[in-house]
Amino acid sequence: PVCSMGNSTSRLYSALAKTLSSSAVSQHQDCLEQPDSARLDPIDPKDLLEECQIVLQKRPPRFQRDFVDLKKNAAANHRPIRVMQWNILAQALGEGKDNFVQCPMEALKWEERKCLILEEILAYKPDILCLQEVDHYFDTFEPLLSRLGYQCTFFPKPWSPCLDVEQNNGPDGCALFFLKDRFELINSANIRLTAMKLKTNQVAIAQTLKCNETGRLFCIAVTHLKARTGWERFRSAQGCDLLQNLKSITQGAKIPLIICGDFNAEPTEEVYREFSNSSLNLNSAYKLLSPDGQSEPPYTTWKIRPSGECRHTLDYIWYSQHALNVNSALGLLTEEQIGPNRLPSFNYPSDHLSLVCDFSFNQDPDRLL
């Protein structure tokens, strides 16, 4: 039997009961903040976590992952900024198109899977959250996360593959959330990526924020590039377009930059080299977990499809290495934790691992430019 949401006065149940119905999605295709949920009472994250755990009580416990300390220099003079990157797996694709042959359909039920996703977010308490494949923005993530203190923005794909799935919940897209008590929004841009001068089905959100504690500006961007083998040149063109947009937004890297995304590209691809060699002076944060600081993790996604096992490194957090330090990064799940049936599973809600980093501002960024 399905676990209940607790009793009728359950905090999570009442939170979800007040959220928008999925029929509201079609009215909000241009996708910015919604006033309705902003008027709802704040939720205590501990209460929400507790309610998620009630729903998940018949599932195995969350995997333990530890942060790796990467600080090479003296402690920063401000609280670090925790950034979380995650392709959460669109519900319509998980159930309808992605063919995870070793994952029971029972493990993909939205009522429980959404609680696994929320539990992961609540466990790491990001200041900034960057998500891809979000198809339950209006009825789940925006209403709940806005009540946890986040400002929320969503930009759907123009032709989302979710819409081909029966009983879908609207298009999937990228979503960006930041804590309003830590940052002030200065500028926001929704970018539809181009390739070979043509508008494509892939998007990005870029927001310039002011850190309330330090007064420093920085830009945070989230994207999801074209999937599939054979589209390497297309991804490269999309990456170049995104970099051009970000050069303009950051005034040629005068404003520090963090880019989160599912690039659908291994480190051997051209789009990866373009980001590595960009004039924006970017580095990939998860390289710092390797012994030499030069190698990406062995995988950020691991699944089994009818064509076989797919283990790839596709997800990245890029940052301005002249202006920002990576204080720590969340270690990946081990092969033993993931298990022989790979992802998603009853333990883990997505086929991609979440990436989480703590950043601090460099004290003298201009010296390193």
Give me the DSSP letters along 246-276: HHHHTTTTTS-EEEEEE----TTSHHHHHHH
- E-assigned strands of the chain? 67-69, 81-87, 128-134, 150-156, 173-179, 183-195, 198-211, 217-224, 257-262, 282-284, 301-305, 308-312, 315-320, 324-330, 355-361
Could you tell me the two tokens for 178? 């930041």
Across the range 229-256, mean pLDDT stands at 97
If pLDDT is split at 50, 70 and 90, which confidence band does 228 have? very high
Across the range 322-345, mean pLDDT stands at 95
Tokens 């063919």 found at: 99
The residue type at 13: Y
pLDDT exceeds cutoff 60 at 24: no
Give the number of other CB atoms < 10 A from CB of residue 257: 25
Mean pLDDT of the chain, nearest integer: 89
192: which strand partners? 203
Could you tell me the two tokens for 192? 């539809």
pLDDT of amino acid 79: 94
pLDDT exceeds cutoff 60 at 144: yes
| 22 located within any domain | no
Give the number of other CB atoms < 10 A from CB of residue 6: 15
Query: Do the beta carbons of residue 163 and residue 126 sit within 8 Å?
Result: no
| 70 located within any domain | no
Per-residue b/e over 12-36, b at no fewer than 16 CB within 10 Å?
bbbbbeebbebeebeebeebeebee
Q: Which of 157, 128, 289, 279 is nearest to 223 (CA)?
A: 157
Across the range 204-224, mean pLDDT stands at 98
pLDDT of amino acid 97: 73
Q: What percent of the chain has pLDDT over 90?
A: 79
If pLDDT is split at 50, 70 and 90, which confidence band does 72 have? confident
Lowest pLDDT segment from 88-102, 124-138, 299-313: 88-102
Tokens 């759907």 found at: 156
If pLDDT is split at 50, 70 and 90, which confidence band does 345 have? very high
Domains identified in the chain, total number:
1
Q: Which of 218, 178, 184 is nearest to 320 (CA)?
A: 218
Lowest pLDDT segment from 124-133, 295-304, 357-366: 357-366
| 19 located within any domain | no
165 three-class SS = coil
Q: Which of 90, 86, 174 is nearest to 123 (CA)?
A: 86
The DSSP code for 340 is T
| 48 located within any domain | no
Q: Which of 31, 133, 91 is nearest to 354 (CA)?
A: 133
If pLDDT is split at 50, 70 and 90, which confidence band does 39 have? low
Give this prediction's pTM. Answer: 0.90
356: which strand partners? 84
Read off the pLDDT of residues 106-115 as tens digits, 9 standing for 90 and up. 999 999 999 9
pLDDT exceeds cutoff 60 at 1: no
If pLDDT is split at 50, 70 and 90, which confidence band does 13 have? low
pLDDT exceeds cutoff 60 at 270: yes
| 226 located within any domain | yes
pLDDT of amino acid 243: 98
Across the range 334-345, mean pLDDT stands at 93
| 321 located within any domain | yes
| 315 located within any domain | yes
pLDDT exceeds cutoff 70 at 299: yes
| 60 located within any domain | no
- Give all strands of the β-sheet with 355-361 in edge-to-edge order: 67-69, 324-330, 355-361, 81-87, 128-134, 173-179, 150-156
Domain encompassing residue 227: 77-361
Could you tell me the two tokens for 273? 């080299």
pLDDT exceeds cutoff 60 at 250: yes
If pLDDT is split at 50, 70 and 90, which confidence band does 98 have? confident
Tell me how far apart the alpha carbons of residues 126 and 83 are, in angstroms, rounded to a whole number: 6
Beta strand 198-211 with 183-195 is antiparallel
pLDDT exceeds cutoff 80 at 158: yes
Across the range 251-274, mean pLDDT stands at 97
Tell me how far apart the alpha carbons of residues 56 and 61 are, in angstroms, rounded to a whole number: 8
The CATH number covering residue 201 comes to: 3.60.10.10
